[in-house]
Amino acid sequence: MAAVPTADTWVYFSCKIMYSTAAITTGLTAGVWANNAGATAAPQYFNARFRFGGFAAAGTDSTWEAYTTAHGAVVTTTGVVAANTWYLLEIDALILTHLTDANFLIWPTVRSEVNLSAINIKEGSHCGVAVLHVDS
């Protein structure tokens, strides 16, 4: 899912992604790209939180959380992901789009880090954008 907010605008980007992997894997990588269509205009401000839920730890469920302040940067878990088990990835980002570029795009990325296992996204997963206000 890609969103297209206008220039010089604060936006809140949120995703709830249910996923599974085809094989047991150690580590998942996720990120958010926020750029113009030509990939030359970065946002003025970017901060994102990633929460991977459901990692088994000594027989109990736990979460793994990380942050980044650069669009396109990724975070990587080190937890073991069981095959064919559904997990929840939550992404929340606050972004101030480029000062003048009106063709701004925002989209999430997720991949298996170690075993390069296929990632399956469950129907009903979604992302949304709330325009907070124009900065100027």
Confidence (pLDDT) at 28: 84
* CATH architecture assignment, domain 9-134: Sandwich (2.60)
Tell me the per-residue pLDDT of 30-62, one tens digit each, with 9 for 90 and over. Answer: 999 888 766 667 888 999 999 988 765 545 567
Q: How far apart are CA 119 and CA 28, in angstroms?
A: 10
Q: What rounded mean pLDDT belongs to the chain? A: 81
Number of alpha carbons in the 13 Å side-chain half-sphere of residue 132:
14
Q: Is the dihedral of CA 68, 116, 21, 59 positive or negative?
A: negative
Helix (H, G, I), strand (E, B), or coil: what is residue 53? Answer: strand
pTM for this predicted structure: 0.83
